[in-house]
């Protein structure tokens, strides 16, 4: 990222910000609310800004804290199955069960799930995208302790590139090898964990 400008209405979130990530880095994005963490993530995923250059074989998988990629009127089973129509039902049910969604939730509409259940569904969908550059916006929100620990273990084992927004100091300390701090329109890079 070189010379990135981001605004929200009349507010300047980032002014000519620059930073880089290399393959295999695990990087946390921190900053106060309103500093532009989520807009930065969305701009990276959108991939249309000339200030952002991605490597040739980069495949982004994104987890959005608002679960905007889920369809509220869709059944839980169909939310994942509809994205992978060649998979059989047993495989889809197994993936959802591993994510902590029991059989009785399969026929529920996504809108009927609790915040934690929606987060688990979104993480299951996210994991099936098989990206080599994972971007997560507040992934621990709404997760119980067991789900957070499972997510942390999976991300530690992931050998691709990871960029995540979090306010959870423990989660940051456990995963990050680099920190990007957003403050007053600028990005400051720190090598090391929280």
Q: Which of 134, 188, 186, 184 lies closest to 164, judged by CA?
A: 134
3-state secondary structure of 123: helix
Residue 115 · residue 142 · CB < 8 Å: yes
Nearest to residue 63, comparing CAs of 5, 16, 126, 19? 126
What pLDDT was estimated at residue 2? 94
What is the predicted pLDDT for the residue at 8?
A: 87
* Coil, helix or strand at residue 147: helix
Alpha-carbon gap, residue 10 to 136, rounded angstroms: 26
Helix (H) / strand (E) containing 127: helix 115-128
pLDDT of 143: 84
By the 10 Å C-beta count (0-12 exposed, 13-18 middle, 19+ buried), 190 is classed as: middle
User: Each residue's pLDDT tens digit in the chain (194 positions)?
Assistant: 999 999 988 888 999 999 999 999 999 999 999 899 999 999 999 989 999 999 999 999 998 888 888 999 999 999 999 999 999 999 999 999 999 899 999 999 999 999 889 988 998 998 898 899 999 999 988 888 888 898 899 999 999 999 999 999 999 999 999 999 999 999 999 998 87
Q: What pLDDT is recorded for position 16?
A: 93
For 156-183, b/e burial (b = at least 16 CB within 10 A) is eebebbbbbbbebeebbebbbebbbbbe
């Amino acid at each position: 990222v070189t010379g990135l400008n981001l605004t929200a209405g009349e507010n300047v979130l980032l002014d000519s910000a620059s930073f880089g990530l290399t393959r295999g880095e695990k990087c946390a994005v921190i900053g106060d609310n309103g500093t532009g963490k989520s807009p930065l993530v969305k701009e990276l995923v959108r991939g249309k800004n000339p200030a952002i250059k991605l490597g040739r074989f980069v495949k982004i998988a994104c987890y959005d804290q608002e679960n905007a990629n889920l369809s509220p009127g869709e059944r839980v089973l169909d939310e994942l199955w509809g994205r992978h129509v060649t998979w059989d039902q047993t495989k889809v049910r197994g993936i959802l069960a591993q994510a902590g969604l029991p059989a009785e939730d399969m026929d529920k509409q996504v809108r009927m799930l609790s915040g934690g259940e929606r987060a688990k569904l979104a993480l299951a969908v996210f994991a099936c995208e098989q990206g080599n550059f994972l971007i997560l916006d507040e992934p621990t929100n709404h997760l119980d302790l067991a789900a957070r620990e499972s997510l942390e273990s999976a991300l530690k084992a992931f050998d691709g590139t990871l960029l995540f927004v979090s306010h959870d100091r423990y989660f940051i300390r456990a995963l990050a090898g680099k920190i990007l701090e957003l403050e007053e329109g600028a990005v400051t890079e720190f090598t090391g964990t929280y």
